[in-house]
Amino acid sequence: MGGALLHSLRLMRAGLVLAQHGVRFWPQGMRVPFVLHLARIATLPVTLITWPFRIGKPRERRISDALASLGPSYIKLGQFLATRPDVIGSGLANDLSFLQDKLPPFSMKEARRAIEDALHGKVEDHYVSFGRPVAAASIAQVHKAEVADPVSGERHSVAVKILRPNIERRFRADLASYYFAAQQIERFHAPSRRLKPIAVVDNLKRTTELEMDLRLEAAAISEMADNIVNDTGFRVPEVDWRRTSKRVLTLEWIDGIPVANKEALIAAGHDPRALGLKILRTFLRHAMRDGFFHADMHQGNLFIEDDGTVVAVDFGIMGRLSHIERKFLAEILHGLITRDFRRASAIHFEAGYVPPHHSIETFAQAMRAIGEPIHGRTAEEISMADLLGQLFAYTELFDMETRPELILLQKSMVIVEGVARSLDPHLNMWTAAEPVAREWVEQNLGIAGQLRQASEGAGDLGRVVADMPRLAQRAKGTLDAIDTIAKNGARLDKAVIRDMAKEQARAGWWGRLALWVGALALVAIAYSMLSQ
């Protein structure tokens, strides 16, 4: 009882702060428990009193300012919920996307103490120089420092990321209140149960726990560095493992122009259109080829070096996608492009995304409502936000359970698309995705890919060897289709659909499999299909 009262008081305080900023959000149809009724009544006078001071303030600023004033854990909660429009609605999710993860820095004394506790010894034992913070966020802040090469003595700059003091304790307390709120929602608002509020808080807990162990962020950087070792035009900072621990992370300092500063990029001789293309292709390659992608590639986390290399920073939030999920993505997309909405619907049922008590035909009708509007329009005319909004509107109608990892992929795709189109407003998704689709087809649907997958069983290996001529023809047909799309433009008109249908008929079942991977040239739209 005492714990419930404490959590209720904490939530009431949050409600008062939200009311002070003119934010009111109550789930429609929810039977509100008595203690939350009290909170709702208590916020009304505050809302009325503070109303004149909020005139003209944008809605997204109100909620952003409110969460920022509540502290680090509420900032992180807001950022996390911004990736979950299926839970809070696309309007509120869009408002939360404006939330800036910035807080006043903690003191140099606390920063030095954190380094000495984490790395042992004095700060000067590890860094030749140690400067004031250059950025401060809800979980950690970053300092610029220098280290000396142990052999040559040459100095070079590093970025030192340090967790906020007592941040773990603060998050534990607030997470307990979030769990209490989620339990009340599941208890009193039956329609919300399919969204799994408690599981949402579980996911937030896991995410923040990962972010609060800086060794895991270092490991994510190292893993991506291994994945991209043969790539050009994109890199990640080098990790200084000798000066890295759970609470302190030391990385190579990146001297580059922020992607957000388009004027500076142009002045430095960079081509914004080429950079936009590179950023989008890089993300698609990481997601589709590696199944491991940076899930927070916004403008503040991307820098351009003198030679045009894109460098990403802040690897606290990463996404993963299994091989089978990537194949499902491809077939769903193929169904949309070829207007085979029943197949796109059936894939959702086969994957268990839609409960079996619903009709494949009825869900296919919903897929048609999403897919038909994109036909006859150029890639630059297709709005990811519109497609996402339509899809999330159907998730409740069809009792589709949340799939956090896929929604994270969707949200990341929207962010990256926004960054790329800020550099090139006319970015063509087909052209951007073509080399990524080609690479994926060659490695996964060609002979080499089939042999690699079949190596787990001798019987499968023999079957693939026997099928080599057909596999080669299948891969060639798919790549030819991709070339046709790239040469003829991005328009999803009847001619393109007819050409793909011909390829589909010619290739048979294996050809259909290849074609839905060839359709990865519109992978951005596929991501909008993954609300589950």
Report pLDDT digits (tens) over 270-323.
Answer: 999 999 999 989 998 898 889 999 988 888 899 999 999 999 999 988 999 887
Is it the case that residue 170 has pLDDT exceeding 80? yes
DSSP 198-240: HHHHHHHHHHHHHHT-HHHHHHHHHHHHHHTTT--SEE-PPB-
Q: Is 517 left (phi over 0), alpha (psi -120 to 50) or beta?
A: alpha
Cβ–Cβ under 8 Å, residues 251 and 159? yes
pLDDT score of 516: 37
For the ranges 116-125, 328-337, 433-442, the one whose mean pLDDT is highest: 116-125
pLDDT in tens, 244-269: 999 999 999 999 999 999 999 999 99
Is it the case that residue 531 has pLDDT exceeding 90? no
86 is catalytic: no
- Bigger pLDDT: 280 or 475? 280
Is it the case that residue 154 has pLDDT exceeding 70? yes
pLDDT score of 66: 78
pLDDT score of 310: 97
Average pLDDT estimate for 129-144 = 93
Average pLDDT estimate for 166-189 = 83
Backbone φ and ψ for 257, nearest 5 degrees, come out as -90, 130
Backbone φ and ψ for 261, nearest 5 degrees, come out as -90, 75
Place of tokens 């990029």: 265
pLDDT in tens, 228-238: 999 999 999 99
| Cross-strand partners of 140 | 163
pLDDT score of 532: 33
pLDDT in tens, 323-353: 777 776 666 666 666 678 888 788 888 877 7
When pLDDT is cut at 50, 70 and 90, the band that residue 488 belongs to is: low
pLDDT score of 230: 93
Q: What is the DSSP letter of 139?
A: S
Is it the case that residue 115 has pLDDT exceeding 80? yes
pLDDT in tens, 3-16: 677 767 777 667 66
Average pLDDT estimate for 135-146 = 93
Cβ–Cβ under 8 Å, residues 493 and 485? no
β-pairing, 248-252 with 302-304? Answer: unpaired
Q: What is the DSSP letter of 379?
A: G
For residue 118 the two structure tokens come to 């984490």
The pLDDT mean for the chain works out to 74
Place of tokens 């193929």: 334
- Bigger pLDDT: 230 or 408? 230
| Cβ-based neighbour number of residue 372 at 10 Å | 12
- Whether this prediction's pTM lies above 0.85 is answered by no
When pLDDT is cut at 50, 70 and 90, the band that residue 216 belongs to is: very high
pLDDT score of 510: 42
pLDDT score of 151: 86
Lowest mean pLDDT among 132-146, 343-357, 437-451: 437-451
Catalytically annotated residue among 174, 296, 314, 340: 296
Q: For residue 288, which amino acid is it?
A: M
Lowest mean pLDDT among 37-46, 178-187, 431-440: 37-46
When pLDDT is cut at 50, 70 and 90, the band that residue 397 belongs to is: confident
Lowest mean pLDDT among 103-117, 427-441, 454-468, 476-490: 454-468
pLDDT score of 92: 74
Q: How many residues does the chain have?
A: 532
In 3D space, the residue among 202, 331, 408, 53 whose CA is nearest the CA of residue 62 turns out to be 53
pLDDT score of 158: 97
When pLDDT is cut at 50, 70 and 90, the band that residue 133 belongs to is: very high
When pLDDT is cut at 50, 70 and 90, the band that residue 183 belongs to is: confident
Distance, CA of 512 to CA of 62 (rounded, Å)? 50
Residue ranges of domains in the chain: 2-101, 102-170+191-253, 323-527
pLDDT score of 529: 35
CATH 3.30.200.20 fits 102-170+191-253, yes or no: yes
Average pLDDT estimate for 153-175 = 91
Q: Which residues of 198-223 are buried (b: 16+ CB within 10 A; e: fewer)?
A: bebbebbeebbebbbbbebbbbbbee
Distances (CA, A) of 473 to 469, 470, 479: 6, 5, 10
- Bigger pLDDT: 22 or 231? 231
Lowest mean pLDDT among 33-37, 38-42, 321-325, 336-340: 33-37
Q: Sign of dihedral through CA atoms 357, 362, 364, 369?
A: negative
Determine the distance from the C-alpha atom of residue 453 to the mean position of all C-alpha atoms in its chain, rounded to a whole number. Answer: 28
| Cross-strand partners of 157 | 146
